[in-house]
Structure 1
Amino acid sequence: MTSRHPIKLSFQGETKRILLSDLIPLKALRPGVKESKKYAQIMSSVRAIGLVEAPVVAPNPTQSGQFLLLDGHLRIEALRDLGVLEVDCIISTDDESYTYNKRINRLAAIQEHRMVRRAIERGVPEAKIAEALGLEVASIHRRSRMLNGICTEVIDILKDAPCPIAVFDVLRRMSPIRQIEAAELMTGQQNFTVVFAKAMLAATPEDQLVHVPAKRPASVSSEQMARMERELVGLQMQVKSVEDRYGVDTLHLTVARAYVRTLLGNDRIVRWIAQHRPEYLKELQTIGEIDTIAPVAEAAE
Structure 2
Amino acid sequence: MSKVPNIPRVLLGFEMTSLRIPIAQIEPLRILTPSIRKSIKFGQIVASIAEVGLIEPPVVIRKIGVPDTYQLLDGHVRIEILKERGDTDVVCLIATEDEAVTYNKRISRMATVQEHKMILNAVKRGVPEERLARALNVNIRSIRNKQRLLDGICDEVVKLLQDRHVPINTFRELKRLRPMRQIAVADTMIALNRFSMSCAKSLVASSPQSDLVSGERKSGKGLTDEQLERMERESANLDREFKLIEQEYGTDHLDLVLATGYLCRLIDNVRVVHHLAKFHPEVLAEFQKIAQLRTAA
Paired residues of 2:207 and 2:232 also in contact (CA < 8 A): no
Q: SS at 2:34's partner residue?
A: coil
In structure 1, the partner of 2:119 is 116
In structure 2, the partner of 1:70 is 73
Offset at residue 29 of structure 1 (A)? 1.4
Q: SS at 1:33's partner residue?
A: helix
Give the whole-Å Cα distance in 2 for the aligned partners of 1:5 and 1:52: 33
Q: Spell out, residue by residue over 1:62-119, the C-alpha distance to the aligned partner (whole angstroms, 9 max, x if none).
A: 3211100000100111111111111000001122343222111111110110011111
Mapping for residues 25-104 of structure 1, pairs under 5 Å: 25-104=28-107
Give the whole-Å Cα distance in 1 for the aligned partners of 2:178 and 2:7: 60
Mapping for residues 247-258 of structure 1, pairs under 5 Å: none
1:176 to 170, 174, 179: 179
Mapping for residues 227-246 of structure 1, pairs under 5 Å: 227-229=230-232
Q: Spell out, residue by residue over 1:156-180, the C-alpha distance to the aligned partner (whole angstroms, 9 max, x if none).
A: 1111111101111000001111101
Q: SS at 1:32's partner residue?
A: helix
Give the whole-Å Cα distance in 2 for the aligned partners of 1:184 and 1:95: 42
Give the whole-Å Cα distance in 2 for the aligned partners of 1:205 and 1:5: 61
In structure 1, the partner of 2:218 is 216
Q: SS at 1:201's partner residue?
A: helix
Offset at residue 145 of structure 1 (A)? 0.6
Q: SS at 1:58's partner residue?
A: strand
In structure 2, the partner of 1:294 is none
In structure 1, the partner of 2:208 is 205
Q: Spell out, residue by residue over 1:234-272, the C-alpha distance to the aligned partner (whole angstroms, 9 max, x if none).
A: 8xx9xx9xxxxxxxxxxxxxxxxxxxxxxxxxxxxxxxx
Q: TM-score of the superposition, structure 1-length normalised?
A: 0.73
Letter of the 1:135 partner, please give it: V
2:194 to 188, 191, 196: 191
Give the whole-Å Cα distance in 1 for the aligned partners of 2:52 and 2:7: 44
Q: TM-score of the superposition, structure 2-length normalised?
A: 0.74
In structure 2, the partner of 1:7 is 10
Letter of the 1:79 partner, please give it: L
Offset at residue 218 of structure 1 (A)? 6.9
Q: Select the structure of larger CA radius of gyration.
A: 2
Unaligned 5+ segments in structure 1 are: 241-301
Matched, 1:144 2:147: yes
Identity over aligned pairs, percent: 39
Residues matched between the structures, number: 236
In structure 2, the partner of 1:135 is 138
| Structure 1 residues 184 and 82: alpha-carbon distance in aligned structure 2, compared to 1, 3 A threshold | same
Paired residues of 2:176 and 2:213 also in contact (CA < 8 A): yes
